[in-house]
Structure 1
Amino acid sequence: MTFTLWLLLCFCGVTLAQEVLPHMFYQTEGATGAGTCFTDMSKFLKEVGAIKEKQEAMETRQKETENQVLELKKKEASNIVFSATTDGSESFGPFSTATTIVYSRVIINVGNAYNQHTGIFAAPVPGIYYFTFFYHAVGSQIVNLVLWKNNEQVVTAYDHKTSQDGADNGGNAAFLQLQQGDQVYMRMGANSHVWQNARTTTFSGVLLRPL
């Protein structure tokens, strides 16, 4: 027995007790109590039905709002793109040990997944990403750049030093499947260098498809 049905029976019972019992003692006709009970019950059912309809309408609107918020969050999470450059007009390196390159001048950083202070991109959502990097360097120095995913080397760009080449430009790119929290960054090998320039030494990435 549902709570509503139990409540109706109690309500009807109280009504009958209030209206029928006095007639049993003072009148011979007691049928009016039952009629009043059913009239009141009908009114009560209408009120309960109206309340239930309002509650269902509120629940429907709440569900629609939750779905809209979820869709907005999904859309916002799928907009991940960054591009940054080194800043300055001098050689970065060579150093005696491998060094993470910090591309401190941000061109675009939708989603704020790239950290311009550490040079590290952290994937906010699982998906297929595309990364590129380019460099400008002096030809008389070695260039050895590596794109890293967490602790794994992905692709490199390398150039030997030569006295016959005044400058070098190069780069590489890769598609990566990342999980949330995976880190992607650039490291420069020991005794290597790049030329810091706001237009030639760059690091970029974009989310192609969430998974």
Structure 2
Amino acid sequence: MNSTCLWVLLLLCGLTSAEVGENAVETRSCFPDMCDLLREFGSMAEKLKVMETRLQDSETRLQDSETRLEISETRLQNSETRLKNSETRLNDSEHQILDLKSKERTKVIFSAAIGRNGAVGPYNTDTTLVYRTVITNIGNAYNAATGIFTAPVPGVYYFTFFCHAGGRYEVKLFLFKNGEKIVGIHDHSSYWDTADNGGNAVFLQLQQRDQVYVSMPANSHVWGDDYVTTFSGSLVTQM
């Protein structure tokens, strides 16, 4: 390694020697242009080191900036996610409010009487009573031509039915839901009891298009007019 460096120095610089008397004086000198070049090269090397240091500092700052940018992007994504969640909850709340308003707007109330002003029955077969005198029919869910109430919306409904009848014949009335007997009124016949009154009521959970009506069994009767034998119902709460 030392010999290599020596040869390089010999190539770059001239070597002169002189002896005066007994003392030998050795003088080394560089070629002027080569020495200037070496000095410039050394200066450039120093500048290069400075530039490399500055470049490393810049790269470090750039990495820090990229890291901060990634953190900012992550925060932005989190904010966007929270915003979307908030929008979803807001939409759900708006739909719930609209549903509640729709339920509040749905009104179902009816009352009707048999009418006719006379005895209804007895008949040989079970008969669906038709309450022809409509007193109230908000929502038009009761059909005065058939005597059948049809639920317009799912919900809990409240029904009542009352009757007046003479005592000579047995009195039976049953409230049906889709052909299923739910509740009824019953009074035995008697010759000494000239008039009977009865009634019943029930809460029913209905689905849309479920049907409710009052049926009178065979060999039974009621008194028909606009006041005493009635069928009523109303929507209590929508489901």
**Offset of residue 74 of structure 1:** 3.1
Provide the secondary structure at the position in 1 that maps to 2:104. helix
Amino acid at match of 1:184: V
- Bigger Rg, structure 1 or 2: 2
The equivalent of 2:104 in structure 1 is 75
RMSD over aligned CA atoms reads 1.7
1:56-205 aligned within 5 A:
73-77=102-106, 79-205=107-233
Q: Find the aligned partners of 1:69 and 1:156 in 2 and give their Cα distance.
A: 39
Q: Which residue of 1 aligns with 2:84?
A: none
What percentage of residue pairs aligned between the two structures are identical? 53
Q: Which amino acid aligns with 2:220?
A: S
Q: In structure 2, what is the Cα distance between the partners aligned to 1:174 and 1:70?
A: 27
Q: How many residues align?
A: 146
Instruction: Provide the rounded CA distance (Å) in 2 between the counterparts of 1:197 and 1:87.
Output: 4
Quote the offset at 1:151 in angstroms: 1.3
What TM-score, normalized by structure 2, do the two folds share? 0.58
Q: Deviation digits for residues 25-67 of structure 1, max 9, x if unmatched?
A: xxxxxxxxxxxxxxxxxxxxxxxxxxxxxxxxxxxxxx9xx97
Greater relative contact order structure (CA < 8 Å, 6+ sep): 1
- The answer to whether the Cα contact below 8 Å between 2:103 and 2:238 also exists between their aligned partners in 1 is no
AA aligned opposite 2:199:
G
How far apart, CA to CA, are the structure 1 residues paired with 2:172 and 2:138? Answer: 29
Instruction: Give the letter for the 1:80 counterpart.
Output: V
Once the two structures are superposed, residues 118-175 of structure 1 have per-residue CA deviations (whole angstroms, 9 ceiling, x without a partner) of 0000001111111000000011111110000001000010111001100000011111
Residue 59 of structure 1 corresponds to none
C-alpha distance in 1 between matches for 2:224 and 2:122:
12
Whole-Å separation in 1 of the counterparts to 2:151 and 2:207 = 7
Query: Equivalences for 1:25-64 in 2 at 5 Å?
Result: none
TM-score by length of 1: 0.66
Mapped partners of 1:82, 1:196: distance in 2: 18
Q: Could you tell me how far apart the structure 1 residues matched to 2:134 and 2:225 are?
A: 13
Structure 1, unpaired ranges of 5+: 1-62
Counterpart of 2:182 in 1: which secondary structure? strand
**Which residue identity lines up with residue 103 of structure 2 in the other structure?**
K
For 1:210 and 1:72, the matched residues in 2 are separated by: 11
Structure 2 CA distance for aligned equivalents of residues 175 and 109 of structure 1: 19
**Which amino acid letter does the alignment assign opposite residue 106 of structure 1?**
V
Show CA shifts across 1:67-120 (max 9, x none).
Answer: 79866543322x111000011211000000000000010110111100011000
Deviation track 1:188-211 (CA, whole Å, cap 9, x = no partner) reads 000000000110000000111111
Gaps spanning 5+ residues in structure 2: where? 1-90
Letter in 2 for 1:153: K
